Amino acid sequence: MREEMMPTYAPPEHMVVTHGKGSYLFTAAGKKYLDFVSGIAVNAFGHANPELAQVLSDQASKLWHTSNMFRIPQAEALAKKITDNSFGERVFFANSGAEAVEAAIKTARYYHHSKGQPERKRIIGFESAFHGRTIATVAAARNKAHMTGFFNGDLDFDQVPFEDLQAIENTITTQTAAILLEPVQGEGGVRAFSNEFLKKLRTLCNDKGILLIFDEVQCGVGRTGKLFAYQTTDTTPDIMSLAKGLGGGFPIGACVTTAEVGDTMHFGTHGTTFGGNPLACAVGGKVIDMVLAPGQLEHIQSMTQVLWHELKTLGGEFPKIFGEVTGKGLMVGMVCIPENTQLLVAARDRGLLIAKSGGNKIRFLPPLNVSAPEIKEATTILKHCAQYLIQEDASLA
């Protein structure tokens, strides 16, 4: 029945997942996989988490959807949890990461519009960025492979090399509205912006009245060891987009901002039918509670130590197969010297699911409640992969 699907994806033909439990997935053919992809940083507490399943089914038996024509207490409660624990004072809910970034883009542009500077529409982003697959978010990331065939012109987005402050200064004009970045780039290579660079960028934005937008769709909600990635730095953004982990597997997105910026988005400026529905927000509220539960962030920090140590040890053991370890917290990239696809497939054949990332890296996104033995299991499988690659090609030894 695959022929009826638009061919936008290429999943492995013979792997059909039927159910999951914690960090593991199970297939129709009876195979078990250790899942260090987590639905691309979505299943924050693994698969079929009983606490999340309970909240979802309780809400499902009460009320799923009413639309934003009516007040949604679950959305108001989630907005309060997010703002109580961040710089944020106003939240707009969406259904996905791209929509959360889209809301951030519209909010930044409308802020300047409402301040009497309608010419300020341009947004500067960074090379290797990823912000989603809608027209505007593709235009923002300026990845040729994603743009070709879809629009003409730059749609008011500029791009500069990673951490190039001089290039930013040269690109800023009186039309610049905002600077957009992922505090830890995900798809483009699992690279974290340095604290020093972000501080300089914040100063520059303040001097020029430019808004700073952090796309935390992948790196937010506990993944870095803090609730939000910006909290691992000395820099606070003006607008932040969230999604992926926020729903623990249920689709939800959010655009978070200050009252000064958020309140310019008056009635009628933006909207969505599904965004902020009771089901998604009930689950999202539980996810935030679970990330903030006593010991959970500390657990993420200590599992970070274990995972980074194991991967660096592996790299030391196989220097012709693995290189630098990058990223932050439980969002980790490792450079591969052979093609990363080879490692991804070898790992999958041996029961470990990992993702790829730019710069020929493999990417690890284990659930936030991963255990030390599970990390050890993953790195043991990777070791077997390395031994297998050496068996096939002795020059890798």
Ligand X SMILES: *Cc1c(COP(=O)(O)O)cnc(C)c1O
List of residues contacting ligand X (CB under 6 A): 96-98, 101, 130-132, 182, 186, 215, 217-218, 243-244
| Residues 6 or more apart in contact with residue 343 via CB below 8 angstroms | 321, 336, 354, 362, 382, 385, 389
Least distance between ligand X and beta carbon 141 (Å): 8
Question: Would you say 368 and 45 are in contact if contact means Cβ atoms under 8 Å apart?
Answer: yes
We find the least distance from the C-beta atom of residue 270 to ligand X, in angstroms, to be 17
Q: Is the alpha carbon torsion for 159, 127, 86, 40 positive or negative? A: positive
Residues 332 and 366: beta-carbon distance below 8 Å: no
Between 113 and 146, CB nearer to ligand X: 146
Between 101 and 282, name the residue whose CB sits nearer to ligand X.
101
Would you say 240 and 100 are in contact if contact means Cβ atoms under 8 Å apart? no
- What is the rounded distance in angstroms from the CA atom of residue 86 to the CA atom of residue 88? 5
Q: State which residue, 98 or 297, has the beta carbon closest to ligand X.
A: 98
Q: Reduced to 3 states, what is the DSSP secondary structure of residue 33? A: strand
Q: How far is the CB of 95 from ligand X (least distance, A)?
A: 8
Report the interhelical angle of 372-392 vs 340-349 (nearest 10°). Answer: 120
| Residue 183 C-beta: closest distance to ligand X, Å | 9
**In the complex, least distance from residue 40 CB atom to ligand X, rounded to whole angstroms:** 6
Residue 61 CA to residue 262 CA, distance in Å, equals 33
Q: Give me the phi and psi of 371, to 5 degrees please.
A: -110, 160
Nearest approach, Cβ of residue 220 and ligand X (Å): 9
Q: Is 199 left (phi over 0), alpha (psi -120 to 50) or beta?
A: alpha
Which is nearer to ligand X, 125 or 262 (by Cβ)?
125
Strand bridging mode 361-364 / 331-336: antiparallel
The Cα–Cα gap between 91 and 255 comes to 6
Residue with Cβ nearer ligand X (329 or 338): 329
- CA nearest neighbour of 224 among 327, 308, 100, 87: 327
Least distance (Å) from ligand X to the CB of residue 360? 19
By C-beta, is 59 or 96 nearer to ligand X?
96
End-to-end alpha carbon distance in the chain: 43
Q: Which residue in the shown chain puts its C-beta closest to ligand X?
A: 97
- Nearest distance from residue 243's CB to ligand X, in Å? 5
Closest CB to ligand X among residues 133, 320: 133
Residue 184 dihedral angles phi and psi, to the nearest 5°: -125, 110
DSSP designation for 302: H
The nearer residue to ligand X, 186 or 278, going by C-beta atoms, is 186
Amino acid at 108: A
Query: Least separation, in Å, of the C-beta of 134 and ligand X?
Result: 7
Nearer to ligand X, 88 or 188 (CB): 188
